[in-house]
Amino acid sequence: MRVELSEVTLDVEVSGEGPAVLLVHGFPDSHHLWRHQVPALTAAGYKCVAPTLRGFGSSGRPEEGGGFEAYHPAKHVGDLLELLGRLEIDGPVHVVGHDWGSGVVQGLAQFAPERVASLSILSVGHLSAVMDAGFEQKQRSWYMILFQFPGLAEDWLARDDFANLREMLTEHPDAEAIIEPLRAPGALTAALNIYRAGVPTEVQFGPALPLPPLPGPVLGIWSTGDRFMTERSMTGTGKHVDGTWRYERVEHAGHWLQLDQPERINTLLLDFLAENPIG
């Protein structure tokens, strides 16, 4: 369904009845990323809300005149809060995020903790933990520097029929489907702008920022085959949680662990939600 917000129209999948679970994807995905989790959650008695973030998939892209700040993570947080209001979902919800979606839902939990019953973050931990994860993490994050250069990054990723992006997405089961919508004018730039607004170079290499802790309960899940994020960047998140913290390590899965090991991820999510019921 299409949901019109004050600044943008989002493509959103809403299904099921019961306590709400908000599922937020990352780069360069859409709500289709959660196709294995939604049936399991709805069968267990939850209502799933899975939006495609602004700038991704078939959701709207604010005019380029607004610059990349139109894609700042805070903008996505505002979209999610407005979306819940438009869907008339009141009170706290369970929140799940992967990759950039993890960063966005962490911002949601920090800004509006009263709206978050539990927080599940996949692959990407607290930004302070990521920054503290040492040189190995900086090596794995090399592409974040490249993505800061408008035009150059787009050209490099799209060159030779997206050959370089295909290499980055080697382990993504949906690589071809992900690339197709990025061919639309402005689509690749819109997707990259979350990096430009959210983790500019001064954030990546500047002094540590005084970031607030995450309100618990928090579940962190990392996969052993992740090419982009170190385990330390997730396990270190425990130091930045004000409340209960649970860490789970998933074997035989890459960065897109919910596609590689859907049954394992579904079990972990359902167990965690059952441990932290709403109300």
Query: How many angstroms separate the CA atoms of 245 and 241, rounded?
Result: 7
Query: How many angstroms separate the CA atoms of 131 and 129, rounded?
Result: 5
Instruction: Let me know the angle formed at the C-alpha of 76 by 194 and 135, rounded to the nearest 5 degrees.
Output: 40
For residue 199, the model assigns a pLDDT of: 87
For residue 206, the model assigns a pLDDT of: 79
Instruction: Let me know the angle formed at the C-alpha of 28 by 135 and 166, rounded to the nearest 5 degrees.
Output: 80
Show pLDDT as tens, one digit a residue, over the chain (279 residues): 999 999 999 999 999 999 999 999 999 999 999 999 999 999 999 999 999 999 999 999 987 555 788 999 999 999 999 999 999 999 999 999 999 999 999 999 999 999 999 999 999 999 999 999 999 999 999 999 999 999 999 999 999 999 999 999 999 999 999 999 999 999 999 999 999 999 888 877 877 777 899 998 999 999 999 999 999 999 999 999 999 999 999 999 999 999 999 999 999 999 999 999 997
pTM of the model: 0.96
CATH class for the domain made up of 2-275: alpha beta
Instruction: Let me know the angle formed at the C-alpha of 13 by 182 and 229, rounded to the nearest 5 degrees.
Output: 55
From residue 6, how far is each of 9, 24, 60, 110 by CA, in Å?
8, 19, 12, 22
N-term to C-term CA, the chain: 28
- Comparing CA positions, the residue from 233, 250, 248, 240 lying closest to residue 216 is 240
Q: For residue 258, which amino acid is it?
A: Q
Query: How many angstroms separate the CA atoms of 41 and 61, rounded?
Result: 29
Residues 154 and 192: beta-carbon distance below 8 Å:
yes
Domain boundaries along the sequence of the chain: 2-275
Query: How many angstroms separate the CA atoms of 215 and 117, rounded?
Result: 9
